[in-house]
């Protein structure tokens, strides 16, 4: 990488502000990703797929019992 040559302190300050903002954005992105990961690891989310299967099995069992009653 070629070093940048500055001609004034204003240019240095501007680049420092840009770098600071980029760092803040990356920090917020990381916080958001950590929060998303935490939310996805809650037991209710982990069991979401399991409860869907249980619900389908329960409905099918009830349907079978109703069909047996009508036959």
Global confidence as pTM:
0.56
Q: In this structure, are 48 and 71 located in the same domain? A: yes
Q: In this structure, are 49 and 70 located in the same domain? A: yes
What does the pLDDT average to over 35-51? 70
Question: Residue 46 pLDDT more than 60?
Answer: no
Helical H segments across 1-71, by residue range: 9-40, 43-46, 48-70
Asked if residue 59 belongs to a domain, the reply is yes
Tell me how far the alpha carbon of residue 34 is from its chain's centroid. 8
Say if residues 12 and 6 touch (Cβ distance below 8 Å): yes
Asked if residue 3 belongs to a domain, the reply is no
pLDDT in tens, 6-40: 999 999 999 999 999 999 999 999 999 999 888 87
What does the pLDDT average to over 56-70? 82
Domain range holding 53? 44-71
Q: In this structure, are 70 and 51 located in the same domain? A: yes
């Amino acid at each position: 990488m070629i070093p940048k040559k500055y001609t004034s302190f204003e240019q240095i300050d501007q680049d420092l502000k840009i770098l600071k903002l980029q760092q803040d954005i990356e920090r917020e992105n990381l916080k958001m990703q950590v929060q998303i990961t935490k939310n996805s690891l809650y037991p209710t989310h982990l069991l979401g797929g399991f409860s869907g299967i249980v619900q389908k099995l329960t409905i099918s069992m009830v349907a079978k019992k109703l069909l047996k009653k009508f036959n």
